[in-house]
């Protein structure tokens, strides 16, 4: 099965990553730089709620599918809003 994840504008990768982490922070998800704001990471790893091996800046494996989907849905919603503003001159 062919992947349809090819970006029309390859240069958008960095902007989409930045948006992804901003939205994750808004939703209170402990990923990327927001991991430190999650609370006591050392304590969470000792309790087993977060495996210590999984603490990487770009790791999303400890995030529930529902939460990851919320990030993707919010990205899509914002991109559609931005496109509508450009197309319809609502800015």
Q: CA 14 to CA 69: how far, in whole Å? A: 19
Q: How confident is the model at residue 1 (pLDDT cuts 50, 70, 90)?
A: low
What are the tens digits of pLDDT across the range 3-58? 677 767 778 888 888 889 889 888 888 887 545 444 444 545 554 555 555 455 67
14: tokens are: 């960095």
Domain extents in the chain: 27-88
pTM score: 0.61
> Is pLDDT above 90 for 72?
yes
Q: CA 59 to CA 32: how far, in whole Å? A: 7
Distances in Å between the Cα of 28 and the Cα atoms of 23, 37, 38, 49, 84 are 9, 9, 8, 16, 27
Provide the pLDDT for residue 9: 79
* Lookup result for tokens 């209170």: 28
Provide the pLDDT for residue 57: 62
Asked if residues 21 and 34 have their Cβ atoms less than 8 Å apart, the reply is: yes
Provide the pLDDT for residue 66: 93
């Amino acid at each position: 099965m062919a992947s349809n994840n090819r970006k029309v504008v390859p240069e958008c990768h960095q902007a989409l990553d930045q948006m992804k982490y901003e939205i994750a922070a808004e939703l209170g998800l402990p990923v990327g730089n927001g991991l430190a704001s999650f609370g006591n990471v050392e304590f969470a790893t000792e309790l087993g709620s977060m495996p210590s091996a999984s603490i990487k800046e770009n790791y999303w494996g400890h995030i529930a599918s529902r939460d990851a989907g919320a990030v993707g849905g919010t990205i899509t919603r914002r991109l559609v809003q931005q496109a509508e503003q450009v197309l319809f001159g609502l800015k």
